[in-house]
Chains A and B, each alone.
Chain A
Amino acid sequence: MRRYLKLFRRFVSTSLIREIEFRSGFIVLLLSELLQDAITIVFFSALYGSVATVRGWSYAEALLLLGTFMLITYLTHALFYRNFARVSEYVNQGRLDVLLTKPVDTQFIMTLRYTAVADLFNIAAALIVVAFAVSRLDVPITFGAGLGYTTLVLLGAVIVYGIWFAISLLAFWLTQIEEIQELWNSLFDFTRYPRQIYEGGVRILFTVVVPILTIVAFPAEFFLGRIGPAAILYNLGLAVMLLVLTRWLWNVGLRRYSSASS
């Protein structure tokens, strides 16, 4: 365990050196991600100009949901994005060989090798949106609410890891599509809106098959006092289940892997 922590620290520092080297690219990427969120905020403000509530969510509450969405997005971008974006390359160009020979767990290097410290900037922007939303709400800010919110945000990040990694692992089967992880970004966008809007088959799909509906909604709803500690247990169970499932998928995929290099 200590060896892995030490390795992870090294990963962060070498990634940071890369970022400083290619700083203009990183800055523009950060800004363009924020522009996307700014447009969602414009969308919500324009929409709430004509509508008072959406399934019981007021404007301030919807902003809390959006801030939480941004927080989990950038937390997971900082830690995983640059790794999952490479999975297809590892698999299709045979670069996985090098990782397989390392004396540590391959899934660990593959999914945590490249971090992006620059994303801290966007995490700060997300916190500003959350703080702004909270300041406009009249719910009591208690220690319990804050602790539950933080726990659920972190559990959300773990669930994201599970689903996103599973989608990236499709690279073992769908070799033609290099940017398969784009699918994740498009799916996760559904969680910007209150989960109560989804009905019927789509609700079942997003609860059972691709369980994204509770990732962002639960932290926000817990903070608002709408759901209790059972929500934490639910997301904890989901996170553990997904970690076990992706471990299994990873092993199955690896058996399909045929090196492409010499």
Chain B
Amino acid sequence: MRKYVAIFRTALQQSITWRGAFWFYIALNFLPLLAYYFLWTSIFQDRAEAAGFSYEALLTYAVVATVFGRLTWASPEYGVMENIREGTLAKYLVQPMSYFGYYLTSRLAFRTFGTLITLPFTGVVVVLVWSHLMAPPEGWRWLAVIATLPIAFALQFLFGMALGLLSFWILEARYFQYFKETALDLLVGAVLPFSFFPTYIQAIFELLPFRYIASFPVELYLGRLPTNDVILGFTMASAWVVGLFLLTRWMWRHGLRRFVAFGN
């Protein structure tokens, strides 16, 4: 346990050193909110609802989805791909710690620092659109929403690990990174709530694990999910976490046999 505390502390120091980059990228991630604000304001000038959303609900959706996306962002794939491609993985293999544990700890540390920087941005946005923001209809939803955060983080982490470990088989897997970020925006429901899509596409979105990163927490927050769906959602999300964990472990065990490193 003590060694993971040390990894956490080192990663935290690392992120503080890169604070300029943290500010920059988190600011960039908040920028699209400005476009959404103006777009929704324009659309709701001559109507009261769109796809079952009021102006306030849609604005709240965009804000909560953006903030949650930042709070649960993990992306270990950059590091994992480099480790495998450049052979630096060898360094981790000889050290007495779990490779997964190392990445999980360091990404948790990055997220801790990232959260500190996300907070002022969130504060500014909340103050600016305060009069239009909606709170969850019932108190227990606050707790449920907070409970989705570790699940969403675990999913983001495991997607990244799975993508990173693909490098064992496909050396140039790094190109998939570009796809991941873009496709994920749509699949998690950050671009637009699912109810804007035709029902058969909604059905597909709801079967996939991605919705638990944005759509599920935000719809839960807005009170659009009845209690039964909330319980079902938490069960499914947990099952996906376990399933993806087993998948990445399997990839790790089999991929490692293919791994070759040269030099030191």
Residues of A within 8 A of B (CB): 24-25, 28-29, 31-32, 35-36, 39, 42-43, 46-47, 49-51, 54-55, 174, 176-178, 180, 182-183, 186-187, 189-190, 193-194, 196-199, 202
Contact = CB atoms under 8 A, between A and B. Distances in A.
Contacts of B225: none
Interface residues of B, number: 31
B51 interface: yes
B68 to A, nearest CB: 19
A93 to B, nearest CB: 17
23 contacts: A25-B175, A28-B176, A32-B175, A32-B182, A39-B183, A42-B186, A43-B191, A47-B192, A51-B47, A54-B39, A55-B42, A180-B24, A182-B25, A183-B28, A186-B28, A186-B31, A190-B34, A190-B35, A196-B42, A197-B38, A197-B39, A197-B41, A202-B38
Contacts of B186: 39, 42-43
B93 interface: no
B191 A25 contact: no
Contacts of B50: 50-51
Nearest to A203: B38
B197 interface: yes
Contact of A39 (B32, B47, B185): B185
B196 A50 contact: yes
Nearest to B180: A32
A199 B39 contact: no
A35 B183 contact: yes
Contacts of B32: 186, 189
Contacts of A180: 24
A31 B182 CA distance: 11
Contacts of B196: 46-47, 49-50
Interface string B159-181: 00000000000001001101100
Contacts of B135: none
B38 A35 contact: no
B21 interface: yes
Cβ-closest 7 pairs across A and B: A32-B178, A28-B175, A176-B20, A46-B196, A197-B42, A197-B38, A50-B51
Nearest to A31: B179
Given A29-B175, A177-B24, A199-B41, 15 more contacts: A25-B175, A29-B178, A32-B179, A36-B182, A39-B191, A49-B197, A51-B43, A51-B47, A176-B20, A182-B24, A186-B28, A189-B35, A193-B35, A196-B42, A197-B39
Contact of B182 (A25, A35, A54, A178): A35
Contacts of B197: 46, 49
A193 B183 contact: no
A138 to B, nearest CB: 23
A178 B21 CA distance: 8
A175 B42 CA distance: 39
Q: Quick one: which of A24, A31, A47, A180 has the most chain B CB within 10 A?
A: A47
B124 to A, nearest CB: 14
B175 A202 contact: no
A194 B176 CA distance: 31
Q: Quick one: which of B25, B43, B185 has the most chain A CB within 10 A?
A: B43
Q: Quick one: which of B24, B38, B182 has the most chain A CB within 10 A?
A: B38
A88 B25 CA distance: 16
Contacts of B38: 193, 197-199, 202
A176 B39 CA distance: 34
A193 B39 contact: yes
A42 B204 CA distance: 15
B34 to A, nearest CB: 7
B257 to A, nearest CB: 25
A177 B20 contact: yes
A162 B244 CA distance: 46
Interface in B16-30: 20-21, 24-25, 28
A24 B172 contact: yes
B172 A25 contact: yes
A29 B21 CA distance: 23
Contacts of A178: 21
A199 B39 CA distance: 11
A24 B175 contact: yes
A235 to B, nearest CB: 22
A47 B58 CA distance: 12
Contacts of A29: 175, 178
B8 to A, nearest CB: 24
B161 to A, nearest CB: 21
Contact of B43 (A25, A42, A54): A54
Nearest to A33: B178
Interface string B83-126: 00000000000000000000000000000000000000000000
Nearest to A199: B38
